[in-house]
Structure formats: structure tokens, C-alpha cells
Amino acid sequence: MSLSDSHHHYRKPISRRRCDPCGVLCFLLTYGIVSYSDYAFIYWVSWNPTPSFLSLVNGAIYQILIVLLVCSHLRASFSDPGVVLRPQHNLDFSHEALLSDRESFTSEFSRSSSSNDIRWSVCNKCETYRPPQAHHCSVCQRCIRKMDHHCPWINNCVGELNQRYFLQFLLYVAILSFYTIISILFEVSTNRIVNQTKSLHTLILLIESLLFGIFVIAVMADQMSTIFNGLTPIDKLRSVSNKSGSPSKPKKARLREVCGTNSMLLWLIPCRDNSDKRHRQLVV
Ligand SMILES: [Zn+2]
Ligand SMILES: [Zn+2]
């Protein structure tokens, strides 16, 4: 079945994630925090009391990191996490219908993954016939392939197709936090904290960087362990064995599956990995 033939068999998934109040609040809060940090760092930490060439360089580096953070956040938030599309005849549970669903799903989506696992199941909440490692998200009310978790900070699920952007977002938060802490230490050591307003903004930035820095490093460590094990957190909770699933792969191959088949340098750039067919197949 060709791709163009198979597309019209699928219903567009209904997205309800944007109605989640907690997700919308966290999404807006993220931009509030990013905007404040940008202002406090550029104006108070870097420029105050007297701007120098170093302040300019410092500000430029910070601004580039902010742009990368925002791009990766927007991509993670608005990309398709890997919604399992619902075939028109999904509610038809006859043997022929299920078999035909599986064939079309397998030809469309699973070719890129080396898993030949046949443990397909029907979701008892949205009644979608779904591939292994797909799980139902109660916030989005849809099944997501290789669902990691629903993240309110991006107001979206983290799944097979957007995990790479989510990791980039975490990485840029970690780098920005580290960069801010180093810059603050430099300001303190060169006695540039000369007024009360600057010390107040510096203190807020320091606390914020420490909190978010530690938080994202913990989440990143967790994400890495998930990727290297090849099991989603839900599978891990259910103690699903990986032995019968995908064969054991080297860590780099597993990372490549998530971050894309491009060169490792491109893994850091929040752009679409065009070499990966999955993205073209699943534009929602
Ligand atoms: Zn479901
Ligand atoms: Zn979700």
C-alpha cells in the first residue's frame, strides 16, 4: 500500500491537550521565566553597572542560547509526539479489519524501527489499535507511540517523534543555568555587584538557575536511562521484559533512533530531521 493510498484511511486525532489548564499555565509560566531571566541577565548581570565589550559578548552568547531554548521548546510543544492514528474502521474488531489495520500500520510506521514485535493491542480507552510500546495519555486522550510521559511544561506528550526536541530543551535549560551561575560567580569575584537592585536580581537568577539546573539534569538522566534500556517508563512500571521485544542494541544506536540519523552535531539543533521518514509520514 503506498503512502498516498493509505493516508485517507486515517482519522485525524482529536487534540485536547491545549485545553488542559495545568499545561497552559505551565506553558505560559515557562515563557514568563524565560523572559524574566533574559531581562535580568542582560540588563542587570551583564550590563550593570557599566557595559563593556565582555558584557556584549556575554549578552550575545546568552541570547543565542535563549533562541535555541525557545525553538526546541516550541518544537517539543507543537510537534506530533507520535499519535497513533485511528483508522476509519477502527471500531470494527473483526479479524480481517484488525489484520488490515496492522498491515497498514506496520507498512507505514514500523518500517523505520527494527522491532518486529507483534504484541499489538487495542486501547480500552480510545479503542485505537496500537503498536507495542504505545500508551494512552489521559490528558491528551489519545494513544502515543513510545510514550514517555505527559509534560505540562511543554503542554504535550513526550513520545517517539518529539523526544529529541524535549531533550534539546532540557539540554539548553541546563546549559543556560550553568552559564548563568558561572557569570554570577564572575560578577561577584570582580566586585561588580554594586547596588541593591542588581544584588536582588542576581540572587533571584542564582536560585532559579540552581533549581531548574538540578531539576533538568535529573530529568535528563532519567530520559537517558529510558532510551538506553529501550523501555518506556510505563513498560518499566509494568515490568515488561524487553527480551521478547526489540533486540538489544548499542547505546549509540538507541540514541540515534531518538535524536535522528543525521550527524551528532545536528542533534543539538532544533530543526526537523529530514532524513527520518517518520516525520513526513506523521504530519498531524
Ligand atoms: Zn488510547
Ligand atoms: Zn499527553
Q: Would you give per-residue pLDDT tens digits along the chain (284 residues)? A: 344 444 444 555 555 566 889 999 999 999 999 999 999 999 999 998 888 899 999 999 999 999 999 999 999 999 999 999 876 544 555 555 555 556 555 554 444 444 444 678 899 998 889 988 899 999 999 999 999 999 999 999 999 999 999 999 999 999 999 999 999 999 999 998 889 999 999 999 999 999 999 999 999 999 999 898 888 887 777 766 554 445 577 888 888 888 887 778 888 888 876 655 454 444 33
Ligand nearest to the CA of 151: 2
pLDDT at 87: 65
pLDDT at 256: 85
pLDDT at 90: 47
The SS3 call for residue 135 is strand
CA distances from 275 to 25, 142, 278 (A): 35, 27, 9
Ligand nearest to the CA of 86: 1
Which of the residues 151, 157, 259, 271 is marked catalytic? 151
The answer to whether residue 151 is catalytic is yes
Q: How far is the CA of 179 from the centre of ligand 1 (A)?
A: 41
pLDDT at 154: 96
pLDDT at 258: 87
Specify the amino acid at residue 82: G
User: Domain-by-domain residue ranges, the chain?
Assistant: 3-281
Helix and strand element counts for the chain (H, E): 9, 8
Ligand nearest to the CA of 136: 1
Q: How far is the CA of 270 from the centre of ligand 2 (A)?
A: 21
pLDDT at 85: 85
Q: How far is the CA of 137 from the centre of ligand 1 (A)?
A: 7
Q: How far is the CA of 141 from the centre of ligand 1 (A)?
A: 6
Q: Is the dihedral of CA 142, 143, 145, 150 positive or negative?
A: positive
* CB-CB neighbours of 37 under 10 Å: 23
Question: By C-alpha distance, which of 136, 38, 18 is closest to 78?
Answer: 18
Q: Is the dihedral of CA 70, 113, 221, 18 positive or negative?
A: positive
pLDDT at 5: 42
